[in-house]
Chain A
Amino acid sequence: MLRAHTTLSAPPNRLVNLPLALCLAGFGLVGTGAAAAENRAAANYHKTIEPLLSKYCYDCHGNGVGKGRVAFDEFASDAEMLAKRDLWLAALKNVRAGMMPPREEDIGRPSETEINTLANWIKYEAFGTDPANPDPGRVTARRLNRIEYRNTIRDLMGGFDFNSEAEFPPDDSGNGFDNNGDVLTVSPLLLEKYLSAAEFIVDRAVPKVPKIIRERMASGRDFRAESGEGNGENLNVKRAVKVARRFTVEQADSYQVVIELEVRGSFDFDAGRAKVICRIDNEERFVEDVAWSERKTLKHDLVVDWKPGAHVVSFEIVPLDPQGQIIAAAVSPSLPTTSAGASGGAATGADPNAKGATPGRDRAFRPSATSVTVRVASVVVRGPLHPEFWTTPENYTRFFPDGPAPADAAGRETYAGALLRTFATRAFRRPVDDAKVAQMVALARDVYAQPGKTFEEGISRAMMGVLGSPRFLFRVEAPVAGGAGQPYAAIDEYALASRLSYFLWSTMPDEELFRLAEKGELRRDLRAQIGRMLKDAKAQAFVRNFTGQWLQARDVESVPINARVVMGPNAQRNRDGRIEFDGAFRRMMRSETEMYFEHIIREDRSILDLVDSDYTFLNERLAKHYGVPDVTGDNLRLVKLPADSPRGGVLTQGTVLAVTSNPTRTSPVKRGLFILENILGTPPPPAPPDVPDLEEAKKNFEGREPKLSEMLAVHRANKLCNSCHSRMDPLGLAMENFNALGSWRDTEVGQPIEPAGELITGEKFADVRELKRVLRQDRKLDVYRCLTEKLLTYALGRGLDYYDAHTVDEIVDRLAREDGRMSVLIHSVVESPAFQKMRTQTPGRHVTLSVPPTSEIHP
């Protein structure tokens, strides 16, 4: 590019470059700009970059030595050299993270200026990124994942909760997250489920008729005894009692009273008998003679004319003797009527016929005493019954805001069109055209025009169609046409609203986002909107889904860990008296991680708190497990940690420590790998296929059972293993003081743990406390970069590519300038070109299109 005059080490000046960039992009279209840019990139390579590579890299990656299959001096041509984007991206990462050149090679570190020179050449020349207008990349239309589907249905369908986790197969994840468009495939099975779900959801969420008869339901518990204890849930036939319930109506009309009583006898026969008298407003409506039976339901359907005011439905039990005579003595309001008391108590007190009843003996010894009980299963009052008094069903106005449909066909059609347009606009998250509305109306009409079908049933059918449509199931962004020389353009505001709401809420945009998008004012109001969204309870979805995957906090709910083996037989027992990594404990750990992350958002703390801090969220059980004193009660809350506590930061939370462990022991390798991948962002390449047996290492210990750390040390002595394990193991071994469930320990197999170590970049640490400090202070740029990459991947729903290097760097620079605050990170991600823009539809949009695609990645 036309930046040959600028020194490569200085970041290009945006203001100067903006017109140039536009100009260049224009040239790109006619095909000469790209070639010219390549020539300049090659010229600068030979002039500035080659000497640097020669100085720092050729010892291993040149002059005939091609370690790791990388040689910088064997490119067949400049074009081939420039095409190796993955190589340059790896070089950029490795040099900047201090992994290359390796310290032990005594080559010395490149200076800051030299590193910047290399970085800028890679980003702006080899990759051809225009810093003023970087390539926003391409996001595949994303299918809603299970969580997004559930949340979207909740917001679209008036709070309806559809258990998508149970009904849909699990989503695959890519690049670490399950919102990645590339892997969210649609199998025939899933489509079948989508259609069934559409039907199921609409069927339950949308009213089928405009008016319904009002219903009030009462159960046994609502019927109180007029004197003494007890309710209609459990009435012993041997005890005279009367229970009643008041129903208040506003309208004078006929009402239907539907009564269901249940008679239940104990397993063995019992001679108990009674009359059950039902009265409404003290007028006897029916009498039932009840006696022992295993289970019997008595139903009565009555119609009453009620005036406005209170009306009383009551049931009276009148005990009878086996001959059917009333037992006067049975009236004993002081007797208990709970189920336990009723069977024993009444039997001894009042019934001489009860089997084995021996007055005076302790009731507790006869748990099998027989009984007959009556339960008021339900009393439903339906009414007023006359149609003019019927009421509107719940949620009706949400779906039918103008009330019931008019009678005439044209009016119905107009109404259907209006309703469905609103519904589909929300469901598709952008306006729908008239043709689509007409199709929906036709679908609705096909149903409601049938005899016996309601208008609402017709609308429901069209809504099912909407929920089965690809425009609902996929987040589709309207393509933007590029003007002359504009390879990238801003996505429209509806797309922006969706990107925002699925990023921060995992659900569809709300009314306010829609309103702003409609007026074209969302972009202008972005900062305020992000602030508002993060304060909303729906932002919990972001915390949960992002930490759930970035830190694998989801997995703590299922990771198989054997608490008896890990904690030993004398460990703290749970409420069931067992030593168990139970569900409640797992959820506590997950909550700790989530509350911690949420705290950093809410308080706008530095994201470095994720690595090290002096606080966490605990309750009594978790605090005991961690060895933190003075925390009582079940509620997790913010706890300031003692000065010498090793806790604070996600790495010392139960979640991370457990998900990186094996079922019976820790795995320093997994833990080290976890830090490299998720905190430092410098994952080692995967292990080679022929890993030498770790067990081989045992030979060196002459029969003694070696510690894991000792075996790993032998493992590292192998050159092949060393290159990666020298990076992973020290990190993992520093965390050996935490067992597989995250409890502190000082020894392993009877020997003291030696947590001291050194990072590949040379920083030394004595234990986990110092490791965290090193990460927070010395490697903070790595932490910034890693989290930026993770968050950008999550927000965009795609893996990052070479053209994102510039964007990531910009965000990292901003974090470095602004104390790493969480708000800076979130805002920067939303404001980034990758989030705000898309590639346009114009062909020939890539300035670097002439460069052939890179070959297979080799890490």
Chain B
Amino acid sequence: MKTPAAPTASAAEQRLLSLNRRQFLRGLGACVALPVFESALRPVAQAATAPAAGAGLGVTASGAPLRMAFVYFPNGAHQNYWWPTGEGADFKLGKTMQPLAPLQRSIQVLGGLDHKNATAGNDGAGDHARANATFLTGARARKTDAADIRVGISVDQVAAQRIGHLTRFPSLELSCDQVRKSGRCDSGYSCAYQYNLSWASPTTPMAPETNPRLVFERLFGAGAPGERQSNFQLRQATQKSLLDFVIDDAHSLQRQLGRNDQQKLDEYLTGVREIEQRIQRAENFGALPDPRADTPAGIPANYGDHMDIMYELLAMAFETDSTRVSTLLLAGDGSNRAYPQIGIPEGHHYCSHHRNNDDLMEKIGQIDLYYMERFAKFLQRLDAKKDVDGKSILHNSMIVYGCGNSDGNRHTHDNLPIVLAGGGGGTLNPGRYTKLGGQPMSNLFLTMTDRLGVSGLERIGDSSARVKAV
């Protein structure tokens, strides 16, 4: 039988590729001592005892996990109500930050952080899309409606790529904004910029999960309490058996296609590799954490409830050490959501362009407060939970709460409204209002990745230095 030469060669090549891949995974398993859970709800200071992982990577000095999260609220903040009075340790919280009062010693209000790449520059309108896209990337989003979307890798992904192997999930992307506008988004910018905070590469956004049920099932397995572990294992086994097949398919396609399609396949293969690694890690991590709670039903009708449950899931993910890196996009910048539950029938975006109208400004303040109340509740929960080293989870976290727009009315991107909550495992100095005097927000990112033990980073986005005073 005459067999064409090409398929034979390709089959051999495929075998080789898949062999290399297995070797790669074996190698990964061998050189990274993966942490083992002692019990489901008790994260152990495993990473610190893993010499190959690098001293202090993703852990505090006392050996507890160190977490990092970024929470985004849309459309800037009512300036007068946001900023505290005083400075340093002697400061008084502003009107919309009152819910944080009980936690004042655990948070820092940061002033003087800017995102120059969110300003118009030569790109014209589109401040909302840019605010969102630049927030964690520090990069300028390419102005395009579809072709060649590009911004930059985001700080959470920089961290996840370095410390992600320590936990079941390298990172967790969450959002409470599940309704998208059809057609076009902001002023010629692709919608991808407005609905994603997290970017795995300059061209691949990490689509966030909005459905609490799906977040829960991903973290803790599907089914009723008690059945989740076996469901999870069954699923892992099946997925594992499929991976070689789909990878071969992707490789054979890759050889066939043009450049832009290659990129799509690269995205695909990256995803597959991540699943492989996760399966590998799961074997090392042992049994799934069991939060002994019912699976949430889905997306609650009330937006406040939706936020609460997402915060709750994020807290659970941190407590069970399922991940140490997360982003939560409460709503994409430019969100025009109405807040009838607090008596505001107008849309948020509409109100934010208050043109100094007192009534609208007051409403913006109320919306800011509404968001802040939920954030404060989340922090309180983290503050009440003891970590493995006896400190609180909040103490062992770095949580940024902020927006890429400062004054929603004028679309400014300097002096961004930023709160940095948590003690960073004792490396941060909370309880202060710190004026940082106009430097890139990206400088803060470097400071945070330093604390995570991520070494050798020269810059993230437009960073120029590290923030010293946090």
Q: Which residues of A contact B350 (CB under 8 A)?
A: 662-663
Q: Which residue of A lies closest to B238 (CB)?
A: A199
B238 engages A461 (CB within 8 Å): yes
A799 engages B145 (CB within 8 Å): yes
A664 engages B245 (CB within 8 Å): no
In the bound complex, CA of A339 to CA of B200 (Å): 59
How extensive is the interface on chain A, given as a class?
A: 35 or more
- A169 with B275, Cβ < 8 A, contacts A189-B173, A199-B235, A688-B125 known: no
Those of A128-183 within 8 Å (CB) of chain B: 138, 140-141, 143, 166-167, 169-170, 172-178, 180-183
B120 engages A433 (CB within 8 Å): no
Shortest B248–chain A CB gap in Å is 6
B258 engages A190 (CB within 8 Å): no
In the bound complex, CA of A510 to CA of B271 (Å): 31
- A461 with B345, Cβ < 8 A, contacts A182-B149, A471-B249, A685-B124 known: no
A188 engages B261 (CB within 8 Å): no
B376 contacts the other chain (CB 8 A): no
A644 contacts the other chain (CB 8 A): no
A471 engages B253 (CB within 8 Å): yes
Q: Which residue of B lies closest to A193 (CB)?
A: B214
Those of A162-216 within 8 Å (CB) of chain B: 166-167, 169-170, 172-178, 180-183, 185-192, 195-196, 198-199
A470 engages B268 (CB within 8 Å): yes
B2 contacts the other chain (CB 8 A): no
B182 engages A185 (CB within 8 Å): no
Shortest B128–chain A CB gap in Å is 11
Those of A550-574 within 8 Å (CB) of chain B: 550, 552-555, 558, 560, 562, 564-565
Q: Which residues of A contact B143 (CB under 8 A)?
A: 856-857
A182 engages B271 (CB within 8 Å): no
Per-residue contact bits, chain A 455-485, to B (CB 8 Å; 1 contact, 0 not)? 0000001101100111101101011000000
Q: Which residues of A contact B7 (CB under 8 A)?
A: 433-435
A104 contacts the other chain (CB 8 A): no
B302 contacts the other chain (CB 8 A): no
B245 engages A440 (CB within 8 Å): yes
Q: Could you tell me how many residues of chain B have their Cβ less than 8 Å away from some Cβ of chain A?
A: 83
A173 engages B195 (CB within 8 Å): no
Q: Which residues of B contact A694 (CB under 8 A)?
A: 355
B261 engages A476 (CB within 8 Å): yes
In the bound complex, CA of A191 to CA of B179 (Å): 21
B338 engages A185 (CB within 8 Å): no
Q: Which residues of B contact A169 (CB under 8 A)?
A: 207-210
Q: Which residues of A contact B125 (CB under 8 A)?
A: 686-689
Shortest B104–chain A CB gap in Å is 34
Give the one of B181, B264, B298 with max A CB within 10 A: B264
Q: Which residues of A contact B468 (CB under 8 A)?
A: none
A695 contacts the other chain (CB 8 A): yes
Q: Which residues of A contact B214 (CB under 8 A)?
A: 167
In the bound complex, CA of A549 to CA of B184 (Å): 9
B211 touches which one: A140, A166, A435 (CB < 8 A)? A166
A195 engages B242 (CB within 8 Å): yes
Those of A492-525 within 8 Å (CB) of chain B: none
Which one, B24-32, B185-193, B453-461, is touching chain A? B185-193
Q: Which residue of A lies closest to B187 (CB)?
A: A686
Q: Which residues of B contact A188 (CB under 8 A)?
A: 200, 206, 270-271, 274-275
A187 engages B204 (CB within 8 Å): yes
A686 touches which one: B124, B264, B275 (CB < 8 A)? B124
A436 contacts the other chain (CB 8 A): yes
A173 engages B191 (CB within 8 Å): yes
Those of A658-679 within 8 Å (CB) of chain B: 662-664, 677-678
B257 engages A183 (CB within 8 Å): no
In the bound complex, CA of A464 to CA of B249 (Å): 13
B11 contacts the other chain (CB 8 A): yes
Q: Which residues of B contact A564 (CB under 8 A)?
A: 345
A693 contacts the other chain (CB 8 A): yes
A140 engages B207 (CB within 8 Å): no
Those of A336-379 within 8 Å (CB) of chain B: none
Q: Which residues of B contact A167 (CB under 8 A)?
A: 214
- A689 with B245, Cβ < 8 A, contacts A173-B183, A188-B274, A433-B7 known: no
B67 contacts the other chain (CB 8 A): no
A689 engages B146 (CB within 8 Å): no
B337 touches which one: A141, A560, A662 (CB < 8 A)? A560
Per-residue contact bits, chain B 258-276, to A (CB 8 Å; 1 contact, 0 not)? 1011001101101110110
Shortest A190–chain B CB gap in Å is 6
- A140 with B261, Cβ < 8 A, contacts A183-B146, A686-B125 known: yes
- A689 with B10, Cβ < 8 A, contacts A186-B268, A443-B245, A470-B249 known: no
A172 engages B195 (CB within 8 Å): yes
A182 engages B148 (CB within 8 Å): yes
Q: Which residue of B lies closest to A560 (CB)?
A: B338
B357 engages A468 (CB within 8 Å): no
B249 engages A436 (CB within 8 Å): yes
In the bound complex, CA of A476 to CA of B147 (Å): 18
Q: Which residues of A contact B179 (CB under 8 A)?
A: 558
Those of B201-242 within 8 Å (CB) of chain A: 203-211, 214, 218, 235, 238-239, 241-242
Q: Which residue of A lies closest to B339 (CB)?
A: A560
A446 contacts the other chain (CB 8 A): yes
- A186 with B124, Cβ < 8 A, contacts A195-B239, A446-B241, A686-B187 known: no
In the bound complex, CA of A474 to CA of B263 (Å): 12
B411 contacts the other chain (CB 8 A): yes
A732 contacts the other chain (CB 8 A): no
In the bound complex, CA of A512 to CA of B164 (Å): 49
Q: Which residue of B lies closest to A191 (CB)?
A: B271
In the bound complex, CA of A446 to CA of B240 (Å): 13
Shortest B202–chain A CB gap in Å is 12
Q: Which residues of B contact A174 (CB under 8 A)?
A: 145-147, 149, 190-192
- A468 with B190, Cβ < 8 A, contacts A141-B261, A558-B179, A663-B345 known: no
A548 contacts the other chain (CB 8 A): yes
A854 contacts the other chain (CB 8 A): no
- A476 with B127, Cβ < 8 A, contacts A169-B207, A191-B271, A470-B268 known: no
A141 engages B336 (CB within 8 Å): no
A186 engages B239 (CB within 8 Å): no
In the bound complex, CA of A183 to CA of B206 (Å): 12
B180 contacts the other chain (CB 8 A): yes
A798 contacts the other chain (CB 8 A): yes
Q: Which residues of A contact B218 (CB under 8 A)?
A: 192
B336 touches which one: A433, A435, A440, A663 (CB < 8 A)? A663
A138 engages B346 (CB within 8 Å): no
- A185 with B192, Cβ < 8 A, contacts A138-B258, A695-B356 known: yes
B205 engages A662 (CB within 8 Å): no
In the bound complex, CA of A291 to CA of B66 (Å): 59
In the bound complex, CA of A440 to CA of B180 (Å): 38
B126 contacts the other chain (CB 8 A): yes
A552 engages B183 (CB within 8 Å): yes
In the bound complex, CA of A564 to CA of B67 (Å): 46
B253 touches which one: A196, A461, A470, A693 (CB < 8 A)? A470
- A465 with B346, Cβ < 8 A, contacts A166-B298, A443-B241, A799-B146 known: no
Residue pairs across A and B with Cβ atoms less than 8 A apart, 16 shown, are: A166-B211, A173-B190, A174-B149, A183-B146, A183-B190, A188-B270, A189-B207, A195-B242, A195-B275, A443-B241, A473-B268, A476-B253, A555-B181, A663-B336, A689-B411, A696-B355
Residues of A within 8 A of B (CB): 138, 140-141, 143, 166-167, 169-170, 172-178, 180-183, 185-192, 195-196, 198-199, 433-436, 439-440, 443, 446-447, 461-462, 464-465, 468-471, 473-474, 476, 478-479, 548-550, 552-555, 558, 560, 562, 564-565, 662-664, 677-678, 685-690, 693-696, 798-799, 841, 856-857, 859
The 10 closest A-B pairs by CB, nearest first: A174-B146, A191-B271, A686-B125, A695-B355, A562-B345, A686-B187, A560-B338, A169-B207, A689-B120, A465-B245
Known: A469-B249, A476-B257, A560-B337. 13 other contacts (CB 8 A): A173-B191, A176-B183, A177-B183, A188-B274, A189-B173, A191-B274, A195-B242, A439-B248, A470-B265, A471-B253, A555-B181, A688-B120, A689-B124
